[in-house]
Amino acid sequence: MSPLDHGLHGEYYGLGPLDEYPIHQLPRPVAWAGSSDRNFYDRCYLNAHDRTGDLFLITGLGFYPNLGTKDAFVLLRRGDEQTAVHLSDTADPRGGDRMEQKVGNYRVEIIEPLHKLRLVMEETHGIAMDITWEGSFPVVQELPHVMRQGANTILDAQRFAQVGTWEGVLSVDGTDIAVTPDRWLGSRDRSWGIRPVGEAAPAGKPADPAFEGMWWLYVPMRFDDFCVVIIIQETPDGFRTLNDCTRVWKDGRVEQLGWPRVEMRYASGTRVPTGATIVCQTPEGKDLVLEVSSKLPVPIHVGGGYGGDSDWTHGMWKGAGFTERLTYDMNDPAVDGRVMFGVIDHVGHAVAHGPGADGVEGWGLFEHGALGRHDPSGFDDWFTLAP
């Protein structure tokens, strides 16, 4: 047997099945990330809800080639309870599992690239699903997303997003929930590049300047005749470092919707938004207004792996074949007290007014985080709350 069959000898270590295809971007095996940064990642995120606000399913799968790990998570919010299933394992150093996209009982099957996929988790700690996604509109390639702190690159990623519908079955503790495309929809994205993953790196010199916070808004919304994808990030003084707002029509037309003005509404004494008025501008200079409301909030840093959980974060080494199920009482002061320190995904509802949208109704994701100081919102520091 040739050393290449094993891929475990000298300079050939790393060659895998992906290298049989003409998809190389660098003079190295595909399994080797283009950057040696430990934080290199490649992840998909998906969500699903039935528009009632009774439940919200958020899930995803990621590969971290420079950490040698892969993982998946399922986060389900029902009422005041948030349930998480975590799966983690060793990643194939030759990249073969990236073609299969599987972690334990969890897998993503690409049926039609950029349009249709199947998401399966065989029963794991009482949770199972077999649901198929179909995009309602073409994917939206977002602008590159870059964050720096001093000279250090914190995040440097590319992402595409899509809205669509779901069909199949979600099973929770022996109860089957029918997922039908007439009611169930959501959004998904795939992103790759550099962002903090895995165990914390050595601190080194304290950050200069210190990180004071960030303001974030992400709204992929599905209407009957068009979709809108909005992504905004601001620094503590309100300077906008990322501004991307796109409308895609059924007939394939794509419009950029300018520099949205946002009025966020928070529940008193919290940083949990109840809704927002987002004023976009068409290429003709006319206002397209989205009145967005939250039907159910899900802090994705509580069980989702997006920071905030000391025992679970994307890319963290948990050992081979790891699984666990955790349940969070969202009324527990220890849990509720950290909600404002991360990003919250909401079952989002919207009513649009303006060109091509006379009071039309849309559904999707309303994602927002006001972390630390944000002068335009009146948040003076990490602990200021809405009046």
User: Which tens digit of pLDDT belongs to each residue from 17-31?
Assistant: 888 889 999 998 989
pLDDT of residue 13: 61
Which ranges of the chain would DSSP assign to H, the alpha helix?
3-6, 96-100, 333-336
The strand pair at 344-354 and 322-329 is best described as unpaired
The strand pair at 254-256 and 261-266 is best described as unpaired
Cα separation of the two ends of the chain:
71
Q: Per the structure block, which two tokens stand in for 149?
A: 């702190």
Query: Between 2.40.370.10, 2.40.340.10, 2.60.40.1250, 1.20.1250.20, what CATH number should domain 37-198+211-377 receive?
Result: 2.40.370.10
User: Quick one: CA torsion of 23, 25, 26, 29, rounded to 10 degrees?
Assistant: -30
**Longest CA–CA separation in the chain, Å:** 71
The alpha-carbon radius of gyration of the chain (Å, integer) is 21
For the chain, the structural domain boundaries read: 37-198+211-377
2 φ, ψ (degrees, to nearest 5): -70, 150
pLDDT of residue 6: 44
126 Cα distance to chain centroid: 24
pLDDT of residue 9: 43
User: Quick one: CA torsion of 292, 296, 299, 300, rounded to 10 degrees?
Assistant: -90
pLDDT of residue 5: 43
The strand pair at 287-299 and 322-329 is best described as unpaired
State which amino acid sits at residue 145.
H
Q: What is the rounded CA–CA span in Å between residue 7 and residue 143? A: 37
CA distances in angstroms from 158 to 43, 100, 142, 233, listed in the order given: 11, 22, 7, 15
- Strand residues in 195-343 grouped as ranges (E): 213-222, 226-234, 240-249, 254-256, 261-266, 273-281, 287-299, 322-329
Q: What is the rounded CA–CA span in Å between residue 151 and residue 377? A: 27
Place of tokens 């209407």: 223
Q: What is the rounded CA–CA span in Å between residue 201 and residue 206? A: 13
Low-confidence ranges of the chain (pLDDT < 50): 1-12
